[in-house]
Amino acid sequence: MLTVARTLLRTRVSATAICLLTGTASAQVQTEFYRELWPMVLSEDGSVIAGIDYAGSGPGSAGYVAVWDRFGPATRIARQDSSFPPALDYEGEPLSLSESGDRLLYTVPFLPAWAATWTQSSGSVNLPSGPSTSFALRTSGDGTQTFGFTTGHDLLRWSGTNAPQVLCGGACGISPTGVTESGDAVVGSLAGSLRYWSAATGTVIMQGGFPSGGGQGIDISSDGSTVVGLTQAGELFSWSPSAGHTVIGIPPWADRLEQVFVNGTGDRVFSNARMTSATGQSIRAACMWEPGTGWRDFRRYLTSRGATGYSSLVHPITFRDVSADGTAAIVDYRLHSNPWSRAVIYFADEAPGTIGTNYCGPMPGLSWQFPATLVATGSDVLAANDVALRATHLPPNQAAIALSSRSAGLLPSPGGALGSLCLGSPIGRHNRPHEVQFTGPNGSFEMTLDLTDIPHGGGVIHVLAGDTWHFQVWSRIWANTGYTSVMTDAVAITFQ
């Protein structure tokens, strides 16, 4: 069955909508232009995006609240009180979308009592003021309720055009960061602790102290089944009123986690991992966790799903928001020559996943780039003859080849390369004219193997059932970097 992986990039200057049809079909690219749009939040299915329209003023100065769908033009939102346009700063004041994206909550910086909701039919409607100074932060998935808090630590709920109701006052209040579909439970933080509230339980303090990495430290699935958060040490934990607190931990390659998001049914968690590269740099990169599957690097996951349209995002990707259905994300990224930008990535689960076992990584990366990585996709069933190698984070516009061997090895920095040769002798070089690839402007490599014609030593060999083969990708690099070439990590595949 033909599967679809979709990537939609919306940068501050322009946007490119890329529909990649995997299999034998070719990529279909449609280009659209959105001037100075900065996505910030997604609806539950990712079909509606809200953010900032800077109208040429550029990030760092005030812009206008805007809503747009995946392929449609942006709609700039106007307040009822025209004396104060809905201006937001670069990092954005609170924005929150309902499940279908038909209702948006937004606030104006430095005027927290001036919060409003917007719908296509009614336009902007100012929320009634709450007691003292009130902040409206999150809307329920069904769009019927809005939650916020006051400077006196009261948890507030707005319903319709009515004045807000104080759900919990003083020491039991919450600054909401997550709300269920029906609005019957809220999670957030206040007074140095992570908290949960429902009508049945009242406020429950799950953990004292914020994660030291900052960002959103707690979230709740829209069905209310799962609460996830980060400990002060940056470890992922799950919590429920009945089961209590369970620490899940961190990815084996990470030092800690920063920010956490959970999908609507609670079975997929997204986070940003802080790690130390081989060159001693502290970097962040998006990752995922699922019960039974464990931790996965998000970029490697995208590559395994055939979503190559994102490959120009060569720097580490970090999450800003994730749709409740778990198939769309707003990410921060950086191109080779551009400053930090933001994109909306759509990804599908239907494409085949990775095969084999990665080892010998992560490799060191250049000072401006994430380590080069390799995945194998397709099938490890020999008769299928369906294996593809995909590498990312390679130097752009350089020649690259695959290497293969029947054994593993370890030779650091061969010939002055960045990284290690992880294959044993003899090594096959896939450098025949039809095998040499060029990484292009995105620094990516993809090659389909013919298991009946694998270079080995001075000739070729036919892979046999039961054989374990090891693969790696080598790429040239520009002059004046201090290195002669770049190596990915390696993957070992045992064929059936």
Task: Give the residue ranges of the chain where pLDDT is below 50.
Answer: 1-35, 56-60, 80-84, 89-92, 111-112, 209-210, 212-214, 308-314, 336-337, 350-352, 368
Give pLDDT, residue 338. Answer: 52
Please indicate, yes or no, if residue 166 is contained in any of the structural domains. no
In this structure, the chain runs to a length of: 496
Residue 298 φ/ψ, nearest 5 degrees: -65, -40
**Each residue's pLDDT tens digit, 327-380:** 778 877 655 445 556 777 766 554 446 789 889 977 876 654 567 888 898 889
Chain-centroid distance of CA 58 in Å reads 24
Give pLDDT, residue 24. Answer: 25
Maximal CA-CA distance, the chain: 80
Please indicate, yes or no, if residue 396 is contained in any of the structural domains. yes
Please indicate, yes or no, if residue 384 is contained in any of the structural domains. yes
For the chain, helix, strand, coil in percent to 5 are 5, 50, 45
Please indicate, yes or no, if residue 381 is contained in any of the structural domains. yes
Distance of alpha carbon 420 from alpha carbon 438, whole angstroms: 21
Distance of alpha carbon 378 from alpha carbon 471, whole angstroms: 14
**Secondary structure of residue 143 in the 3-state scheme:** coil
Enclosing domain of residue 384: 358-494
Q: Count how many domains the chain has.
A: 1
Residue 447 neighbours by CB distance under 10 Å:
19
Distance of alpha carbon 137 from alpha carbon 147, whole angstroms: 6
Give pLDDT, residue 168. Answer: 85
CATH code of residue 456: 2.60.40
Amino acid at 74: A
Give pLDDT, residue 12. Answer: 30
Q: Per the confidence metrics, is the pTM higher than 0.85? A: no
Please indicate, yes or no, if residue 191 is contained in any of the structural domains. no
Q: Strand (E) positions, 152-281?
A: 155-159, 165-168, 175-179, 185-190, 193-198, 202-208, 218-220, 227-230, 236-240, 244-249, 256-262, 269-276
Please indicate, yes or no, if residue 301 is contained in any of the structural domains. no
Please indicate, yes or no, if residue 453 is contained in any of the structural domains. yes
Give pLDDT, residue 381. Answer: 93
Please indicate, yes or no, if residue 309 is contained in any of the structural domains. no
Give pLDDT, residue 393. Answer: 76
Handedness of CA 199, 204, 206, 211 (dihedral sign): positive
**Each residue's pLDDT tens digit, 114-132:** 677 887 777 777 788 776 6
